[in-house]
Structures are given as C-alpha cells and as structure tokens.
Amino acid sequence: MNETVTDTIAKTQKMASIFDSVNPEMILSLVMGFLTLFIIVRIVSWSLQYLAIKIPFYRLSILQLNTIITHMIYIFGTFWLLYVTLNPSQEMIYAFIGSGAVAIGFSLKDLISSIIAGIILIFDKPFQVGDRIQFRDNYGDIIQIGLRSVRIQTLDDSTVTIPNNLFLSENVASANSGQRDMLVCSYFYFKNNCDISRMISLLEEVTSTSRYAYLKKPLKVIVSTEKFEHGIGVKATVKAYVLETVYEKAFVTDITKRFYEALREEELADQLLSES
C-alpha cells in the first residue's frame, strides 16, 4: 500500500516538474510554430490545386498527392515542433505518453478516431480525391480528405463535411475509383410493340457520337421488359463511359436530347413509354 502511494506521489511530482518547465516563451513559440505550420500547409495546398487546374490531364493525381503531402506536413511538423520547442528529456516523453494519452484519449476520442481513420483512408484508398462517390444520401466528388473529415461537393454545388471514422463502418460506393472516366447509365422506356432493333441502333449512334463519350471502353445497350401499372413495356439501359466525372449529367442530357430529336425526325416518338 505504501509503495503504491509513494509511486503515485513520485509520478505527480514528475508531472509537476514538467509543467513548471513550460514558460510563456515556450507557449508563444508553440503558437507561432503551429500558425506557421498552418500557413505552410495552405500555401502548399493552394499551389498544388492551382497546378491541378493548369494540368488537367494529371488533375486527379495532383489532388491525391496534395492530400498525402498536407497530412505528412501536419503529422511530422507537429512532432518536430513539440520536440524542438519543449526539448523534452526521456522522462518527460514517457510521462507525457503515459499520462497525456489517457487524458487526451477520453476528451478527444472522436477527433483522434477521425484522424486515425483519415490516415487509414489515405493508405487503404477506398476512394481518392477526385472520385465521385455515394455515401448515405450524399452523391458527389471528393474535394478533400483532411485529418478530421472528408469534404464532398454534391451535384447541386453544396459542400458536405463527413467525419473520417464514419467511412470505416459504413458502405461507400466509388463510381470511378481514381480514374478520370466513369460508367454512366441512361434509361429509356418504350411500348411493348416498338421496333427494338431501331431503338438500339439510334441509342448506340447518339451515344457514340456524343462529345462527352469515352470510346476506349465498351458501349452497351441492354434491353429488358418491365411491368408498369398499365401493362408490359420495354426498358433500354445505355451503359457508356464519360470522359470525366464532371460531365456525367451533361453526358446523360446530351444522349437524351439527341435521341428524342432522332425519334421525332423519324416519326417514332409515339413508341416512347412513360416510366410511370
């Protein structure tokens, strides 16, 4: 019992001596150091984002590199700053690790779990900056993978911030997995007695001639029957790749517009069927 009390007193005295060594100059140096670190990260991030705009062919690679570099600057910069400013002894390091970790762990457990999850996301790569993903009700492009959270820019131009740790416990779908091109599906509905062969031919023509089409990957038109309230109809699914994820909706719009125009020119518009 006495040994336990003695050990507790000794540890308390060590911690007290550590905090006694921290003076206002050290605190000011830490504040200025973290501010400088923040400015450096912002400058590097802005420079790489500017470079991504100027070299669009390597845009995704540059944005992914930006995420890795900013993480490394924050992590190693923080450790270096603490070491240089505090100049801790071996006892001080052990004392901080033993006592500080417990206190910080309880008070900042959500933040720490998000930071660890962010590091896991960087190396595991379920998605990358520039990917178009579906997470819960959010669909859009990853614009930033930060230490604490991931930012998604949705198709209606809203920015959604999601804590990193949520991605480790829930399903997330990536439409392009780090590639510039992406598979896009368009759906069309026809009456049961329509000219299927002609519909497929027109869909292939308007899709393959679209300025947004990525023709190095296959284009497919899949036909199936669907049951509607007023009877059986035909559903045509066009599966084609778009050049860049940002053109997804423009690609679908272009296909639909030009297909309907082709139907009117050939007087086949009456073969269309409402989905409902």
Q: In the chain, what are the domain boundaries?
A: 2-107, 182-271
User: In one letter, which amino acid is 49?
Assistant: Q
d(C-alpha 238, C-alpha 223), whole Å = 9
User: H or E stretch including 163?
Assistant: strand 159-163
Mean pLDDT split into 10-residue runs, the chain, 276 residues: 56 55 74 87 87 79 80 82 71 62 61 77 84 92 86 92 89 88 94 90 95 95 87 92 93 95 90 71
Neighbours of 117 (CB within 10 A): 22
Sheet of 182-191, strands arranged across: 182-191, 231-242, 220-228
Whether the CA torsion 133, 42, 67, 80 is positive or negative: it is negative
For the domain covering 182-271, report its CATH number: 3.30.70.100
Q: What is the pTM of this model?
A: 0.62
166: burial class by Cβ within 10 Å (0-12, 13-18, 19+)?
A: middle
CB-CB contact of 147 with 74 (8 Å): yes
**pLDDT value at position 24?**
75
pLDDT (0 to 100) of residue 19: 54
Q: What pLDDT score was predicted for residue 275? A: 54
- The secondary structure of 186-246 as a DSSP string is EEEEEETTS-HHHHHHHHHHHHHT-TTB-TTS--EEEEEEEEETTEEEEEEEEEEEESSGG
- 225 close to 232: Cβ distance less than 8 angstroms: yes
Give the closest residue to 245 by CA, choosing from 143, 172, 125, 162.
143
Q: Which two tokens stand for residue 130?
A: 């520039």
CA atoms within 13 A on the CB side of 59: 15
| Amino acid 101: pLDDT | 61
DSSP annotation of 147 reads S
